[in-house]
Amino acid sequence: MKKLVDENERSALIESAVRENADMIYRIAYQHTGSHHDAEDILQEVSIALVTKNAPLDDREYLKKWLIRVTVNKCHDLYRHKKRTQTESLDDYINTPSQQENNVFEEVLRLPENYRTVIYLYYYENFTLQEIADTLGKKLNTVSSDLQRARKKLKKILTEEE
């Protein structure tokens, strides 16, 4: 009977973790892939990983970092899989006008991947540079340099459009 209670407790913690972090996971996946469909798939894969892996459910801050790391890894896996299978997205062939051309988030998507991730975590998730470095497994100075370069590139992109 004790095991059943523990499993019910674990299920409730997993459900709570997914509900609390689903938006963040989706946004990170979207900013990496640029596709709503791929972002939804990655959200599902991260949720499955949360259930099947030994995720740190008792520590919310560590869990958030764990989820970000898994999300970024799933994005990289998807990229490698697409590159290996050499398929192309239909989104490349459908001409859809951009909904908000001055949307800063859309401009962030134009940055190289390592800059997008640092900008996103710093400005949208309010991570400190040290937290970003820990989460991404990079040195603090590298993250700081990436953030500085990303700001310059983003400024250049935004001023060119004006």
DSSP letter for 120, please.
I
Give CATH for domain 97-162. 1.10.10.10
Read off the pLDDT of each residue in 103-109 and give the average, rounded to a whole number. 76
10, 55 Cβ separation under 8 angstroms: no
CATH topology match: 1-95 vs 97-162: no
Kindly report the pTM of this predicted structure: 0.58
- Determine the Cα–Cα distance for residues 30 and 39; give it in Å rounded to an integer: 5
CATH 3.30.420 assigned to 1-95: no
Q: Dihedral of the CA atoms 113, 147, 129, 73 (nearest 10)? A: 0
- The whole-number pLDDT of residue 95 equals 41
Domain spans, the chain: 1-95, 97-162
Q: Dihedral of the CA atoms 110, 112, 116, 122 (nearest 10)? A: -130
Tens digit of pLDDT for each residue in 7-29?
Answer: 788 888 888 888 999 999 999 99
Tens digit of pLDDT for each residue in 112-149?
Answer: 888 989 988 998 888 999 999 999 999 999 999 999 99
